[in-house]
């Protein structure tokens, strides 16, 4: 047996059957042993996990790392550190960088930047060149580099014919297209959800129909082509229902939702603080309830942060001119815990944040995993890769924007407190976060 370099003591392992009070021993990047009381050999690091849950490291399907092009807001390295502090062992970087990840060269650059970071970085490619929605990007060439997910995120593909063609092509290559559902004709000029608050505040609104009409269209295209589609950041009750019906029909669709759409509503915009400006926007109480219900009944497969850093001066602009987006990596699990632990067990929450996103991203324990990446998402048996998240449900997370790992400060939760905090994160057997402090 390989040498034990890391022991995690006193915690409860999250298994598909429930919690089991077990210590873990890791070495050589894998889980070597699980037992009730594992001694720590001299030279091994021992992490105290008393009262904590030990689950598979979280996987984020939707992170904006801003490099190349917007390094003042975030870099691959700083974003990965924020991810690790949030309990993530892998993230999928969105392609709306400058230049976009629409060529093998840019994809290679980003993957290289993420080679040695404290969270693994996989990359999503653009569907169209420059994300302009006109011509297909070299999907096959990018797939050969290991890219599994393609999206024009930041925008949706407006042209139905082009989207159909892209789906047919993607099906042949064996990759998944992910859609940012927004009909730009309906959303034009909008700065927040169209509803009673936008009317009161005098801000142009984005109606729920702008998202739902594209969800409906793409479901039609899935039916037509048989290609799978992953729906990014669902935010409306209507969208959730459309996906629910599509899944009932057996169509190959998956979906994600962001923590802010589980918690915040358009009422937050009352003070015109651009930190609450996001796309899709914060919606109504009914939409938040529907998103939560969708997460509980399997309609929504994963929680994805849509971590979107913006340099502080850009968020100081008037509300309608400020860029949309919020930070999310370091607050995702505490929020998910706060909202969902009264409704779901820990194994279900970790499924939403680790196992299922890992499978969708191609990072799970299967033969078809992306080359160059370790296995994420559990299960935490002997022999599993040591990608772990240790979460203390009785600690508190106090959100202080000046003390986040991100280069940006645009968190909507400044000053708020959540019950539950990430304590340790282990990446391929290396403890990269110990007692909420990043080790490098």
Residue ranges that bind another protein, judged by CB under 8 A = 194-196, 198-203, 205, 207, 271-274, 313, 316-321
The Cα angle at residue 38 between residues 35 and 40, in degrees rounded to 5: 155
Residue (46 or 201) nearer to another protein, CB: 201
Do the strands 417-427 and 53-56 form a parallel or antiparallel pair, or are they unpaired?
Answer: unpaired
Phi, psi of 35 (to 5 degrees): -165, 170
- Taking alpha carbons only, the member of 266, 405, 262 closest to residue 337 is 262
Q: Closest distance between another protein and the C-beta of residue 275, in Å? A: 11
Q: Which is nearer to another protein, 279 or 314 (CB)?
A: 314
Q: Of 156 and 205, which CB lies nearer to another protein in the complex structure?
A: 205
Angle between helices 208-225 and 237-248 (to 10 degrees): 20
Q: Measuring CA to CA, which residue among 181, 93, 91, 95 is closest to residue 137?
A: 95
Q: Which two tokens stand for residue 118?
A: 């404290």
Minimum gap (Å) between residue 316 Cβ and another protein: 4
Do 290 and 241 meet the contact criterion of CB atoms below 8 Å apart?
yes
Closest of 196, 177, 175 to residue 128, by C-alpha: 177
Angle at 340 between CA 336 and CA 341, to 5 degrees: 105
Supply the minimum distance, in Å, between the C-beta of residue 195 and another protein.
5
The CA-atom distances, in angstroms, between 59 and each of 43, 51, 156, 322, 357 are: 30, 23, 23, 29, 6
Q: Please state the separation of Cα 324 from the chain's center in Å.
A: 17
- Can you tell me the distance from the alpha carbon of 319 to that of 247, in angstroms, rounded to the nearest whole number? 37
Least distance in angstroms from the C-beta of 131 to another protein: 24
Distance CA 91, CA 372 (A): 14
Is residue 122 within 8 Å of 369, Cβ to Cβ? no
End-to-end CA distance of the chain: 28
If the CB atoms of residues 195 and 362 are measured against another protein, the closer one turns out to be: 195
From the CB of 418, what's the least distance to another protein, in Å? Answer: 24
With respect to another protein, which residue has the nearer C-beta, 266 or 424?
266
Min dist CB 183 to another protein, Å, is 16
Q: Which is nearer to another protein, 105 or 318 (CB)?
A: 318
Looking at the Cβ atoms of 168 and 273, the one nearer to another protein is: 273
Helix (H, G, I), strand (E, B) or coil at 192: strand
What tokens does 98 get?
């400058």
User: Within 10 Å of residue 181's Cβ, how many Cβ atoms?
Assistant: 25
Candidates 153, 287, 301, 306; catalytic one: 306
Q: How far is the CB of 260 from another protein (least distance, A)?
A: 20
Task: Assess whether 381 carries a catalytic annotation.
Answer: no
Q: How far is the CB of 205 from another protein (least distance, A)?
A: 6
Do 420 and 334 meet the contact criterion of CB atoms below 8 Å apart? yes
| Residue 372 half-sphere exposure toward CB, CA atoms < 13 A | 14
* Residue placing its CB nearer to another protein in the complex, 198 or 235: 198
Give catalytic residues, as residue numbers: 306
């Amino acid at each position: 047996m390989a040498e034990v370099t890391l022991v995690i003591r006193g915690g409860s392992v999250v298994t598909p059957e429930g919690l089991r009070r077990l210590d873990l021993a890791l070495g050589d990047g894998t889980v070597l042993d699980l037992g009730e009381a594992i001694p720590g050999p001299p030279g091994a690091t021992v992490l105290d996990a008393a009262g904590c849950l030990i689950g598979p490291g979280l996987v984020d399907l939707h992170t904006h790392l801003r490099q190349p092009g917007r390094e003042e807001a975030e870099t691959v390295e700083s974003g990965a550190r924020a991810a690790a502090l949030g309990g993530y062992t892998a993230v999928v970087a969105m392609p709306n960088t400058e230049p976009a990840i629409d060529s093998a060269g840019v994809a290679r650059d980003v993957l290289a930047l993420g080679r040695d970071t404290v969270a693994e970085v996989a990359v999503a490619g653009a569907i169209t060149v420059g994300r302009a929605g006109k011509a297909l990007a070299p999907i096959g060439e990018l797939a050969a580099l290991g890219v599994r997910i393609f999206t024009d995120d930041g925008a949706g593909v407006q042209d139905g014919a082009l989207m159909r063609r892209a789906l047919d092509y993607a099906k042949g290559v064996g990759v998944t297209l992910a859609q940012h559902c927004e009909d730009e004709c309906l959303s034009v000029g909008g700065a927040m959800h169209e509803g009673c608050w936008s009317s009161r505040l005098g801000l142009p609104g984005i109606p729920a129909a702008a998202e739902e009409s594209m969800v409906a269209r793409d479901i039609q295209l899935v039916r037509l082509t048989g290609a799978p589609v992953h729906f990014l950041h669902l935010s409306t009750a209507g969208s959730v229902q459309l996906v629910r019906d599509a899944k009932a029909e057996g169509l190959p669709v998956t979906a994600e939702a962001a923590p802010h759409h589980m918690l915040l509503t358009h009422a937050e915009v009352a003070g015109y603080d651009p930190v609450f400006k996001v796309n899709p926007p914060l919606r109504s109480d009914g939409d938040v309830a529907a998103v939560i219900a969708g997460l509980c009944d399997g309609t929504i497969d994963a929680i994805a942060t849509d971590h979107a850093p913006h340099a502080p001066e850009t968020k100081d602009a008037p509300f309608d001119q400020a860029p949309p987006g919020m930070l999310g990596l370091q607050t995702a699990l505490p929020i998910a815990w706060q909202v969902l632990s009264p409704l779901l067990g820990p194994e279900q929450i970790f499924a939403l944040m680790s196992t299922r996103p890992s499978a969708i991203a191609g990072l799970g324990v299967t033969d078809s995993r992306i080359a160059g990446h370790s296995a994420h998402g559990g299960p935490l048996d002997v022999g599993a890769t040591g990608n772990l998240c240790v979460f203390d449900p009785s600690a508190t997370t106090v959100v202080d924007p000046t003390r986040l790992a991100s280069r940006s400060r645009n968190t909507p939760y400044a000053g708020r407190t959540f019950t539950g905090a990430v304590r340790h994160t282990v990446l391929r057997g290396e403890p990269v976060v110990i007692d909420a402090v990043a080790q490098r």
